Chain A
Amino acid sequence: MNITMILLVSVILLALWVVSVYNFFVTSKTRVKASIQEIGNQLKRQADLIPNLEASVKGYLKHEKSILEMLSEARKLLSKGQDATKQISEVLPKLQVVVESNPELKANTVVSDLMGELRDTADKVMYARRLMIDLTADYNVKRVTIPTNIVANLFKFEELKGLETAEIGEHLTVNASEMKSPKVNL
């Protein structure tokens, strides 16, 4: 009687454990699928956002650049001792408009905002990939380690690929030009 009770309890416990491991594998698979969709989602956001940002920043820069060009042209004429009244009278109204709407020329902040946006977008895509990589790694580790590998083999859970990266190629070797520290030329 006692032994049958013990047996019964251990069988139930074992069954519960198998169920929980099985559920881990199937949920992981579903989560990996969702995380792949999230990568797509982030890529789409990036594709929508970056060209628009680029266009608006470009527009702003062009506007500011034309004013600066006109100003420097007028200055050039002045330094040669020529009459620059015509040029100045041309650029002055435009300058006024700019100064009234923006007290300072701020291409600097516009560009640094763009850089911040670019980094943020790249981070978002990177983190979306990270989640997918982590989830598949957890799944694959459980698939091969004792004792969960027994359940994995029982139900034939296959290995998940994660982020597909070529296993041979240039990223695993370092060539001579990559050994030098890079120099930044602006």
Chain B
Amino acid sequence: MNNIYEVQQSNKIKSGFIVFFFFIFVTLATYLISSAMGIYSGYEPGGLGFAGIALIVSGVSTFVSYYYSDKIVLGISDARLATKQEDKVFTSVAENLCIGSGLPIPKLYVIEDSAPNAFATGRDYDHAVICVTTGLLLKLNRTELEAVVAHELTHIKNYDIRLMSIVSVMVGLVALLADWFLRMSFHSRSKSSDRNNNQLQIIIMILGIVFAILSPFIAQLIQLAISRRREFMADGGAVVMTRQPQGLISALQKISNDHEPLEAANKATAHLYIANPFKDKNSSAVGWFSNMFNTHPPIQDRIAVLQKMS
């Protein structure tokens, strides 16, 4: 039996810790790789350095997808606006939860797809979007639907879309830098023979190479860990809103028992959904290791946490 407030408190601390660790790691990796690049090539481009250029490139591409996230995702998923006549339960449930949480009502969309799933996106409260599939509306009852919408509203409330965008800029930064550095080592092998005698420089070079090889991978793993942690937070937040853990438990069970993959989802939008939209990857063998590569925690773990609350 865990008090929901304590659960949310510990979720916040854990999430903050992972995010903090992530930024430390990215800073370290960026610093090491770019100084190794400087040593190797013998010059730093402009006043920005390689890190600056990489930050701008990955920043611009992610910023566009972040700023227009609502439009892009809705365009990909081919969603239609939910109406009071057609989707009465969905719209009234969302409206009620917004009364309860003090958030403005997000734009509500429906995707024609029989696989039950839902996601939230949008850069701030005024551009927030909640999207559900017709399968979800058909298969869940009102209490379960309310829990799912509350989960999505918590993502919006916690600015998870913003956080995940910043994190993916950082992952992009590290990946770009590492890529450039490794390419450089293959191409221009001539210049640096006169600079190699400094020991510190050699150490930085070696560390740079190690980080260039490993850090894109590690950064991505931490990104996934953050994503999973935010899912737990959204589950907890949904219970704080509805006070009915049972609703979310049975909704998650229904969603996970449905083995139809969601057609509208792709790898880029997978982390947005309430449950992983790619289902049938031998879910029986979900070990600690394969779990590391998932955007979502295993449903059983989420249900176990929820059951402790009820």
**Chain A residues at the B interface, C-beta cutoff of 8 Å:** 31, 35, 38, 42, 116, 119-120, 123-124, 126-128, 130-131, 134-135
Which residue of the partner chain, among B88, B89, B95, B100, contacts A131 with CB atoms under 8 Å? B100
Contact: B96 with A131, CB < 8 Å? no
Contact: A131 with B142, CB < 8 Å? no
A38 to B96, CA, bound (A): 12
Q: Distance (Å) between the CB of B263 and the closest chain A CB? A: 31
* Interface members, chain B 20-63 (any A CB < 8 Å): none
Contact: A119 with B100, CB < 8 Å? no
Tell me which residues across on chain B come within 8 A of A31, comparing CB atoms.
Answer: 102
A42 to B95, CA, bound (A): 12
Which residue of the partner chain, among A116, A119, A131, A135, contacts B99 with CB atoms under 8 Å? A131
A38 to B95, CA, bound (A): 13
Of all chain B residues, which has the CB nearest A42?
Answer: B99
Contact: A128 with B99, CB < 8 Å? yes
A-B contact pairs, 17 of them (CB 8 A): A35-B102, A116-B88, A116-B89, A123-B96, A124-B95, A124-B96, A124-B99, A126-B100, A127-B96, A127-B97, A128-B99, A128-B100, A130-B241, A131-B100, A131-B101, A134-B100, A135-B102
Of all chain B residues, which has the CB nearest A119?
Answer: B142
Contact: B92 with A130, CB < 8 Å? no
* Interface members, chain B 94-120 (any A CB < 8 Å): 95-97, 99-102
Tell me which residues across on chain B come within 8 A of A123, comparing CB atoms.
Answer: 96
Apart from the given pairs A123-B96, A131-B99, 12 other A-B contacts in the complex at a CB distance below 8 Å: A38-B99, A116-B88, A119-B142, A120-B96, A124-B95, A124-B99, A126-B100, A127-B97, A127-B100, A128-B99, A131-B102, A135-B102
Contact: B142 with A127, CB < 8 Å? no
A116 to B142, CA, bound (A): 10
A130 to B89, CA, bound (A): 20
Interface centre among B92, B99, B102, B241 (most CB of A within 10 A): B99
Q: Distance (Å) between the CB of A128 and the closest chain B CB? A: 5
Tell me which residues across on chain B come within 8 A of A116, comparing CB atoms.
Answer: 88-89
Of all chain A residues, which has the CB nearest B100?
Answer: A127
Tell me which residues across on chain B come within 8 A of A130, comparing CB atoms.
Answer: 100, 241
A35 to B102, CA, bound (A): 9
Tell me which residues across on chain A come within 8 A of B99, comparing CB atoms.
Answer: 38, 42, 124, 127-128, 131
Q: Mark B136-174, 1 if CB is under 8 A from A, else 0.
A: 000000100000000000000000000000000000000
Q: Distance (Å) between the CB of B94 and the closest chain A CB? A: 11
Tell me which residues across on chain A come within 8 A of B102, comparing CB atoms.
Answer: 31, 35, 131, 135
Q: Mark B72-108, 1 if CB is under 8 A from A, else 0.
A: 0000000000000000110010011101111000000
Q: Which 9 pairs of residues, A with B, have the shortest CB-CB distance?
A: A127-B100, A127-B99, A130-B100, A123-B96, A127-B96, A120-B92, A131-B102, A128-B99, A124-B96
Q: Distance (Å) between the CB of A48 and the closest chain B CB? A: 17
Q: Distance (Å) between the CB of A40 and the closest chain B CB? A: 13
Q: Distance (Å) between the CB of B96 and the closest chain A CB? A: 5
Q: Distance (Å) between the CB of B171 and the closest chain A CB? A: 33
Tell me which residues across on chain B come within 8 A of A128, comparing CB atoms.
Answer: 99-100
A128 to B99, CA, bound (A): 6
A38 to B142, CA, bound (A): 23
Tell me which residues across on chain B come within 8 A of A124, comparing CB atoms.
Answer: 95-96, 99
A119 to B266, CA, bound (A): 37
